[in-house]
Amino acid sequence: MMDKTNPLYETRSRRAGILFHISSLPGPYGIGDLGNQAKAFAWFLSGCGCSLWQILPLGPTGFGNSPYAARSSFAGNELFISPEILAEERLLGKDDLAGLAAAFGACDAGRVDYGLVETKKLPVLKKAAAAFLAGAQDADAAEYRTFCENERFWLDDYALFQVLCCLYHDARWHSLWDPAAAKHGKDALEKIRKENGVELEYWKVLQWFFQRQWKALKSHVNGRNIKIIGDIPIFAAPDSVDTWSHIDLFRTAPEGGFSVVSGVPPDYFSPTGQLWGNPIYDWEKMKRQDYSWWIARIKRLLDLVDMFRIDHFRGFDAYWAVPAGNPTAEHGTWERGPGADFFYALKAALGELPVIAEDLGFMTEGVKALRDGQGFPGMKVCQFGFQGMKDGAFDPRHAFLPHNYSYNWAAYTGTHDNDTTSGWYDKLSAVDKRAVAEYLNAADGSARGTAAARGPAAGITGAEAAWAMIRAVAASYAKYAIFPLQDILGLGTGARMNIPATCGSYNWSWRLPGKLPEGLDAEAASRFKRIMTLYGRC
């Protein structure tokens, strides 16, 4: 072993992780949850030699089931609550579990049917909430009351919002609710509170269940020397409790409604851009309030995770504002974001921020200066290094190719917005496959030699291309190397998590079939750990 006092010894740590969201965990209740399968995945991470588990945002999903368009920036997704843990706590019975499992027995285990999960699972969870309220022991009751008091900033509004969503059968408060409820009419809301007091309490208890189960899981994960990387969308969803309860913090039109909405201009993912439709903050007003809403939001997130990725980081430097009502994101304008002042305020209130900046897309010098000035690692996605490849030719100076990464980066084969690496590779032309395989040094022995001697796919499958890319990213100098679980398992396009600029039941619904640990390949874990050890990431 090299003497660490030797000046040639690399003292800066380099770590490895896996990207895998809670919803994608296997299990019998329609969607991944915080129970035994999540704990089993933590053991798999340990077996892989990983010290990082990256997830997507944890909030309750709304329209399109996207975790990046949650109904709350503070609440946890109730659908992640484990019924098995509730049964262990005698809040549910064996018949409840059997009936719930039977409701999903005929479903495709490889996909989440969000509508069915909400219809079948929520009533069972509320049954457990009723049992808790009826029989909570003194210690549990006191702990629950403390939780409600500590989280009052968002919890009361969230419970009321969920009740209103049920009453109006929709979350689009700005267009489909009664105006008195939409505009916080005091008498209207007081009447709803009185008539729905029990239901309000159920939603609070469900958040308490989520909090308690999540903290237990996090303790288990941290006990394996693994840190959890969370994710925070820059924008709030238009049909969220955030916009309903804090409409004054968003830019609105004089006649009502949002004046501008968010998106990105045409890019690699979409020729017409991505029209996200999220309302845009009134940053000047937020600054006058010392960014108190954002400070509360980040404080809440740091109570749940160890590190976090900021989605669409460039929006803090400049954001793409599209006039409300436009059908695409093509006709917007760049407007200035809050800049470094925003992060100075966060750090003054919360201390140093363990952030990964999602800085993908077109980066200006201003965005780079903001990222580097705060010391945040940015992101590199290896698949993007072959962007614009033509007839097997790509630019070896491309910033997303692993040999060009410097230290302060989080490097990925792909993200939740990419095709799986196997699926991506399989769609390349024969000549482009040869070029990618050659760069990754993945041609087998029979295919080496002259260009003419190489086979059309350089002798490798999509799954082996994924492994070759994993090796290349692991060998890079980047501080963090993080890999979607689908790439480690060599899965194809059918396991893709999301297709940007689209909305349908396919997106966000992929689940790992089977049951852990049987659903994970022990040989894949061993192979992954050997690679991470080889390049000093274990």
Distance in angstroms (rounded) separating the CA atoms of residues 117 and 22: 14
Cis check for the bond before 517: say yes or no (omega within 30 of 0): yes
Task: Determine how many CB atoms are found less than 10 A away from the CB of residue 25.
Answer: 23
Phi first, then psi: what are they for 323, rounded to 5°?
Answer: -55, 130
Burial class (CB in 10 A: 0-12, 13-18, 19+), 284: exposed
Sign of the torsion angle spanned by Cα atoms 348, 352, 355, 361: positive
Half-sphere exposure of 45 (CA within 13 A, CB side): 29
Phi first, then psi: what are they for 449, rounded to 5°?
Answer: 120, -140
Whether 438 is catalytic: no
Whether 358 is catalytic: yes
Phi first, then psi: what are they for 361, rounded to 5°?
Answer: 90, -165
Q: 3-state secondary structure string, 218-270?
A: HHHHHHCCCEEEEEEECCCCCCCHHHHHCHHHECECCCCCECEEEEECCCCCC
Q: What contacts 24+ positions apart, CB below 8 Å, involve 521-525?
A: 521/489, 522/47, 524/488, 524/489, 524/490, 525/44, 525/47, 525/48, 525/488
CB burial readout 286-296, b (16+ within 10 A) else e: beeeebebbbb
Distance in angstroms (rounded) separating the CA atoms of residues 368 and 464: 34
Whether 190 is catalytic: no
Phi first, then psi: what are they for 72, rounded to 5°?
Answer: -150, 140
Among 157, 311, 419, 432, the active-site one is 311
Among 359, 417, 432, 487, the active-site one is 417
Among 358, 359, 419, 487, the active-site one is 358
Q: Give which of 353, 54, 371, 408 is closest to 231, Cα–Cα.
A: 54
Beta-bridged to residue 260, according to DSSP, are 323
DSSP annotation of 339 reads T
End-to-end CA distance of the chain: 15
What residues are annotated to the active site?
311, 358, 417
